[in-house]
Structure 1
Amino acid sequence: MRYKLETIGLGKRYGESVALAPTDLQVRAGEFLTLLGPSGSGKTTLLQMISGLTLPSSGTLLLDGVDATQMPPGKRGIGMVFQNYALFPHMTVWENVAYGLRMRRAPADELKRAVAAALAMVKMDEYAHRYPRELSGGQQQRIALARCFVYRPSVILLDEPLGALDKKLREHMQLEIRHLHAELQATFIYVTHDQDEALAMSDRICLMNQARIEQIGTPSDLYDRPATCFAAGFIGHSNLLDGHVETGDGGARRFHAAGRSLALEGAAQPPGVMRDGRAWLLVRPEAAELRPQGQGLLDGSVAEVVFLCAEVRAIVAVDADRRVSVRCGRNVAPRVGEAVGVHWDMARATLLQQ
């Protein structure tokens, strides 16, 4: 299968410092792939090597099956949107959007049509004669997107483009970018450290950590079936119960934690999670429920109740070191200090080892 973009052992070093370990990544034509991870995880380094702004220390980059490792940025047919917008302050909105096509010597009629269409796409056609300083941050972001989309590149790279926006506008622009992706049918590679943004926008997420890929999958793959403790802790709210695993004479495995021995039948166990010893059991807050004391898999007392608008989260202390977060309806919120049981379906839990 030929991919729209593929990296084979692509890596970057600065002396003894590894900015990105040799990385294999395949991106399908037309998909929305998000590079997600904390600062320093290698996601921006990977994006810059795809764009050609940074040359790799090792490996190969293929675009439509063609080796583009040493190809100049302007020859790659890739559009890029930066976090700081990078608009020309002395140019009007119209001139900013037209700049790329002018550099490509597009015919005048084609340029006018393309700029008008791009501005209409981001709903900024009424601002064509304004300068960047006369626009809000959200409006400047839309112009940066229009300038990238105007020549309809087949691959579009977005480096934390919404990082400077307030929460409400950020959520609005997330939807706008998804709509633009559907309209353009281009391949989007999007960098963010915001897990909610990645979950809301992506076809697939490439989770990165310590200059390497931690896990790749759909948002539901990473949320429901994380492969590592890092993935479980980084994506969504998590209960990671620290304990140990033992295999009985009949082959049945049990998880020991907080003074309880729990049967692991039905729990997801990623490849490699087979040995006995220290382990973590992942249970999402929405998978757990409160029951009367003695009727759950664990017992404890409510240490804290957190109000989160449409829901309430109860933090249950099951021993001196372990806390379990349980999502509750507002009408059934417990009281701090109340003795409770915590229960879950083991089929909704995941056993992890490192």
Structure 2
Amino acid sequence: MYKLETKGLAKRYGETDALLPTDLQVKAGEFLTLLGPSGSGKTTLLMMIAGLVDPSGGQLLIDGKDATHAAAGQRGIGMVFQSYALFPHMNVWDNVAYGLRMRQVKGAALNSAVEDALAMVKMSDYAKRLPKELSGGQQQRVALARCFAYRPSVVLLDEPLGALDKKLREHMQLEIRRLHDDLGATFIYVTHDQDEALTMSDRVCLMNQARIEQLGTPQELYDRPCSRFAADFIGQSNLLDGRMTATQSFAAGAYNLSVESAYVPTNHHHEASTLLVRPEMAELVTPADGFVQGTVAEMVFLGSEIRARVKLDGMADSDELFSVRCHRRHAASLGDKVGIRWDVASTSVLMQ
């Protein structure tokens, strides 16, 4: 039995499908991230799970029981919003206690639950402060504590780190993952940030055009994307358009590239396809030693490494530059003629 399951769950606004009929199973204790661009349906799905949006069709099961039309407060679900939604006139302690009081928790049980939740997010010393006296990261911790205080078995998080700066976001990603492990609850997390999804998740549900594009572990989505969209959305990608040949090679422009050890879906032959090469799996070599050749058009400084972007020869119809991550010691210079090689086993052939 899954902790949460949707069967054909869908939402339609007039003539617009916000979410096409969707089947999704979430295991107990899992950290599942709903990832995708704006308008892909991820927040709509989260809001229907929370009971804040009524579905147009389908069914929602929680612990095997039909919760499709159950009131939001009867689902045993906690919610953390991007805006924190703290009461400005209440101090930290009272903000965390609010949900418990609404559930008629009183006395020693209330005090214990609030103190435990504040300790969990390391905010015990800030109990008497108002939200305006806290930093953005501290306010986010209070919002998490308020959600965790009544120990929900399912926690929904709607882009909770969207308003934080990069360094604080990265810190809070690790904190939320630690809290998930401590709480043992099922987390469903919405984001459009691919790095966030890959860092935090047990599985990632990639959404596109109101449907699930691909579902799998972060490594599966990164190493074996199922489509051009998935490859382009997750991570840096070099995408060469062409077609498979009968000899386990890939024709792209003037090149005939070996894909003998690449990942090629079963029965995928003689069709318009795309070859995926990740920048970190490629290297700059002399033109004679490269699978492809070109001219260095851009050099992007990234601190510990350089990203060289190469205009390929023999690809007249493409304006895309081929990216290669280089150690600073081995970087080329603008205008250099170079070859590019890559680990063939790390590449994938995708349906267009």
- TM-score, normalised via structure 2 length: 0.97
CA-CA distance at 1:323 after TM superposition: 2.2
In structure 2, C-alpha distance between the alignment counterparts of 1:258 and 1:292, rounded to whole Å = 20
Q: Deviations over 1:250-291 (max 9, x none)?
A: xx23211131112221111235x6141321100000111111
Q: Which runs of 5+ in 1 are unaligned?
A: none
In structure 2, C-alpha distance between the alignment counterparts of 1:338 and 1:227, rounded to whole Å = 35
In structure 1, C-alpha distance between the alignment counterparts of 2:69 and 2:55, rounded to whole Å = 9
Equivalent of 1:283 in 277, 297, 306: 277
1:89-128 superposed matches below 5 A? 89-128=88-127
Give the length in aligned residue pairs: 348
Equivalent of 2:348 in 347, 350, 354: 350
Contact map agreement 1:237 1:285 (CA 8 A) in 2? yes
Equivalent of 2:329 in 318, 328, 331: 331
Contact map agreement 1:258 1:298 (CA 8 A) in 2? no
Contact map agreement 1:9 1:24 (CA 8 A) in 2? yes
Equivalent of 1:266 in 258, 261, 265: 261
Q: Note the aligned Cα RMSD (angstroms).
A: 1.1
In structure 2, C-alpha distance between the alignment counterparts of 1:57 and 1:74, rounded to whole Å = 20
Q: Deviations over 1:215-263 (max 9, x none)?
A: 001110011110000000000000001122222xxxx232111311122
Q: Which runs of 5+ in 2 are unaligned?
A: none
Moved more, 320-329 or 66-75: 320-329
In structure 1, C-alpha distance between the alignment counterparts of 2:242 and 2:334, rounded to whole Å = 26
- TM-score, normalised via structure 1 length: 0.96
In structure 2, C-alpha distance between the alignment counterparts of 1:200 and 1:142, rounded to whole Å = 19
Equivalent of 1:294 in 282, 288, 293: 288
1:63-74 superposed matches below 5 A? 63-74=62-73
In structure 2, C-alpha distance between the alignment counterparts of 1:295 and 1:49, rounded to whole Å = 55
1:118-197 superposed matches below 5 A? 118-197=117-196
CA-CA distance at 1:345 after TM superposition: 2.2
CA-CA distance at 1:138 after TM superposition: 1.4
CA-CA distance at 1:34 after TM superposition: 0.3
Q: Deviations over 1:11-53 (max 9, x none)?
A: 0001111000000000010010000000000000000000001
In structure 2, C-alpha distance between the alignment counterparts of 1:26 and 1:286, rounded to whole Å = 33
Which portions of structure 1, spanning 4 or more consecutive aligned residues, are displaced by more than 4 angstroms? Answer: none
In structure 2, C-alpha distance between the alignment counterparts of 1:132 and 1:263, rounded to whole Å = 59
